[in-house]
Amino acid sequence: MSSRRGSSSLSAFFSEGIYTIGLTGGIGAGKSYVARMLQERHIPVYATDQRAKALYDEDEELRESMIRLCGKEIYSTEGHLDRAYLASLIFADRALLEEVNKLVHPAVRRDFCRWRSELVESGLRLCALESALLLGAGLDEYVDLVVAVVAEESVRLTRAMLRDGASEESVRARIQHQMAEEELIDRADYILYNDDAHPLAPQIDRLLAALPL
């Protein structure tokens, strides 16, 4: 683990009354694995990818906006998002993908704030927000500390190919559409190195021990 902005980045306490770690990283870096390790340490983690999928069906404002953007056929008669149909639309239309993201990101932010408020009411003082798009979707404004999980590209490729059963070409294409790891490292407050030379557990424990709680 290394600090990018010095110990001062650990001194602020979020005005909402709960310290929030922002956890991010590129494909295959191990972001979700770190999230599970935080949960094992009894730290609630908001997983934006999972919640975004649910919000298409649960958030009425998002649902209505999606229908206006894509047509009522974007939802099944049972009221569930037709993900295959949506994928076919945005695959051929990059501009439409950007419009969908403009609808989803605010819904995720609303949902996260509601979730975190419930944690505050229960008396918790620490939580985490996991998102691959933390620094690209404005979610970093909601956290006190940006923690990036990084690994060599060859390691990330191997992990993603094994995990998803994907080809090297497809994984490389996904990497190209994500923030460059150099920029990720530059913008993060702390770095967790997820490789054989740097065991994760001690890095996470040192980070948690340094938080102003």
Tens of pLDDT, residue by residue, the chain (213 residues): 443 333 344 544 555 789 999 999 988 889 999 999 999 999 999 999 999 999 999 999 999 999 999 999 999 999 999 999 999 998 878 899 999 999 999 999 999 999 999 999 999 999 999 999 899 888 999 999 999 999 888 888 888 888 888 887 887 877 777 888 889 999 999 999 998 889 999 999 999 999 988
User: What are the φ/ψ torsions at residue 104 (nearest 5 degrees)?
Assistant: -75, -40
Indicate the helix (H) or strand (E) that contains 23: strand 19-25
What residues contact 154, with CB distance under 8 A and at least 6 apart?
Answer: none
- Return the CATH class of domain 1-44+124-213: alpha beta
123 DSSP 8-state letter: T
138 DSSP 8-state letter: T
The closest of 213, 112, 198 to 149, measured between CA atoms, is 198
* Strand segments (E) across 80-144: 126-130
Q: Is 174 exposed, middle or buried (0-12, 13-18, 19+ CB in 10 A)?
A: middle
Q: What is the pTM of this model?
A: 0.85
